[in-house]
Amino acid sequence: MAKEKGGFWVGVAAAIVYPMSFVLGRHRILHGDRIPRQGSALLVLNHISHLDPCYDAVFVHRNDRVPHFLAKHSLWNVPIMGAILKGAKQIPVYRGTSDAQQSLRAAHEALETGQVVVIYPEGTITKDPDGWPANSRTGVARLALQHDGPVIPVARWGTLDLYNHYQKKFRPLPRKTITHFVGEPIDLSAYRGKEETLPLLREVTDLLMNHVKTQLAEVRQQPAPEGFYGPRKA
């Protein structure tokens, strides 16, 4: 099957990100064959470091797909990066504004046209001191329930050892291993067709992130804590 083509700007991004990610860390992908090679898919990931998108983009691209990230709209104002994000058709997130729903609409459109959408339901890097997932926003549940494509949990580990934002530590040496563990698509049939109340959206969101957390515990070979870090956020 032919590799999905992303166009000029995706090529530019790949030319920058691939060498940087290779220098800073080695990749280990577990069950990458679970990423569909065509058609839409919603990838649900934990968020531990500002370097996550770099490695997640390479991870998706190495599995023959073009990733479409939901990312802070302020990044579109950064010289060069903004042009790449716009050209590669990434999805700006406008939090706390009248344009907030526009982000979900753009993500819906990407899924409806058979794209791979990458979402960090936590909204920002976790503040859990041990790097476990924090409470997540329920937009991921809306996306998951309103589309028939697979919803795939992915746990990623290793980037926190490379760059810890809250501790202001960047440790490129020794070279780190960045692991992606791809789970099986999550069966949401019990929730589809129901009224999308806040309790239902919260339940689905926690279900998705519990899958991610379980996979993360397997990668880390540590027991996962109960629940999620921090206050509830819808």
Looking up residue 195, the CATH number of its domain turns out to be 3.40.1130.10
Is residue 184 domain-resident?
yes
Overall average pLDDT of the 160-187 stretch: 95
Q: How high is the pLDDT of residue 234?
A: 42
Confidence class for position 1, pLDDT limits 50, 70, 90: low
Is residue 232 domain-resident?
no
Burial class (CB in 10 A: 0-12, 13-18, 19+), 151: buried
More confident residue, 52 or 98: 52
Q: How high is the pLDDT of residue 78?
A: 76
Q: Rounded to whole angstroms, how far apart are CA atoms 84 and 224?
A: 37
Q: How high is the pLDDT of residue 85?
A: 78
- Domain assignment of residue 160, given as a range: 8-220
Q: How high is the pLDDT of residue 100?
A: 57
Most confident of 75-79, 103-107, 178-182: 178-182
Is residue 1 domain-resident?
no
More confident residue, 43 or 25: 43
Confidence class for position 233, pLDDT limits 50, 70, 90: very low
Is residue 92 domain-resident?
yes
Contact by Cβ (8 Å): 180, 30:
yes
| Mean pLDDT across the chain | 89
**Beta strand 41-45 pairing with 151-157:** parallel
Longest CA–CA span in the chain (Å) reads 51
Is residue 234 domain-resident?
no
Overall average pLDDT of the 210-217 stretch: 98
Give how many domains the chain has, as a whole number: 1
Q: How high is the pLDDT of residue 183?
A: 98
Is residue 129 domain-resident?
yes
Q: How high is the pLDDT of residue 16?
A: 83
Q: How high is the pLDDT of residue 76?
A: 74
Overall average pLDDT of the 105-110 stretch: 89
| CA dihedral for 208, 35, 117, 25, sign (positive or negative) | positive
First to last CA, the chain: 40
Is residue 197 domain-resident?
yes
Overall average pLDDT of the 86-108 stretch: 73
User: Would you say residue 9 has pLDDT above 80?
Assistant: no
Residues in the chain: 234
Is residue 231 domain-resident?
no
Q: How high is the pLDDT of residue 8?
A: 77
